[in-house]
């Protein structure tokens, strides 16, 4: 059963700084954005739309009958893109951001975020990573309070464990925002932490906008590098169908 107050937005940046045009990279005969959209379509959780910034993405989405809208090419991040989309769809009160570079997104992660969308105005999916694993700078790690409020985010290894605990938490590319929180985010100034780390969640922390981690299952890696893309291309095609 669909939850009508929620709209899933899939930011699809064409000229990605780390891997340009990755959103349309071929994986088993289809562009990456196709696999993300079709997984959400088959899950049938709620309505969804791709937020594109280039005609190439628009054309591909139309070819595969994927809902799509054009957004400003100069937006800094996915949250700003979701905010622009929110102005086009006044009938929705909550917006779920699902990244367009996760063709094997774990649908349970999205379900958990949708289920908990009424608890807080701004949630993000987090899961455990073992501290023994080498640091992956593509993964954003977070420090949480006891009630799971995020107090810092970094691509570095945080927190630093001298002994005892055996895991850290990382953010997944799935976020939930209430409409008014999106407006607060856009109005907040970009601070030195966000500028330094290039992590948009730090704008909330610097502006004292509460953001909470919803602990959920892990998900496959996002496609941030050529190595990530080759990894996806080498996975069995059967894995991409749910």
Q: Where are the beta strands (DSSP E) in the chain?
A: 6-12, 26-27, 30-31, 47-52, 68-70, 94-98, 122-130, 141-144, 150-154, 167-178, 212-215
Q: What is the pTM of this model?
A: 0.91
pLDDT of residue 230: 96
Residues of the chain with confidence (pLDDT) below 70: 1-4, 164-166
pLDDT of residue 3: 53
Strands 167-178, 141-144: pairing kind: antiparallel
Residue-level pLDDT at 4: 63
Q: Would you state the pLDDT for residue 1? A: 39
**What is the C-alpha separation between 166 and 71, in angstroms, rounded?**
42
What confidence tens digit (pLDDT) does each residue in 125-179 have? 999 887 777 788 888 999 999 999 999 999 998 888 777 666 789 998 899 999 9
For the chain, domains (ranges, CATH) are: 6-226 (3.90.550.10)
- Residue ranges of alpha helices (H) inside the chain are 32-43, 55-63, 78-86, 107-115, 179-187, 192-197, 201-206, 226-233
Give CA–CA dist 171/215, Å, rounded: 9
In total, the chain counts a number of residues equal to 242
């Amino acid at each position: 059963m669909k939850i009508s107050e929620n709209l899933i937005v899939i930011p699809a940046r064409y000229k990605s700084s780390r891997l340009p045009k990755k959103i349309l990279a071929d994986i088993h005969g289809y562009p990456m954005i196709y696999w993300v959209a079709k997984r959400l379509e088959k899950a049938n959780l709620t309505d969804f739309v791709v937020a594109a910034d280039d005609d190439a993405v628009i054309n591909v989405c139309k070819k595969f009958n994927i809902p799509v809208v054009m957004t400003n090419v100069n937006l800094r991040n996915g949250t700003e893109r979701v905010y622009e989309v929110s102005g086009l769809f006044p009938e929705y009160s909550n917006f779920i951001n699902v990244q367009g570079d996760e063709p094997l997104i774990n649908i349970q992660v999205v379900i958990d975020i949708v289920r908990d969308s009424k608890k807080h105005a701004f949630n993000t999916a987090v899961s455990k990573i073992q501290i023994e694993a080498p640091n992956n700078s593509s993964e954003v790690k977070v420090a949480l309070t006891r009630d799971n409020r995020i107090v810092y985010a970094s691509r570095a290894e945080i927190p630093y464990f001298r002994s005892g605990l055996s895991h850290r938490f990382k953010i997944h590319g799935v976020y939930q925002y209430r409409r008014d929180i999106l407006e607060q985010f856009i109005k907040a100034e970009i601070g030195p932490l966000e500028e330094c780390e290039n992590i948009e969640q730090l704008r909330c922390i610097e502006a004292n906008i509460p953001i909470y981690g919803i602990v959920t299952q892990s998900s496959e890696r996002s496609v941030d590098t050529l190595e990530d893309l080759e990894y996806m291309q080498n996975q069995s095609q059967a894995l991409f169908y749910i």
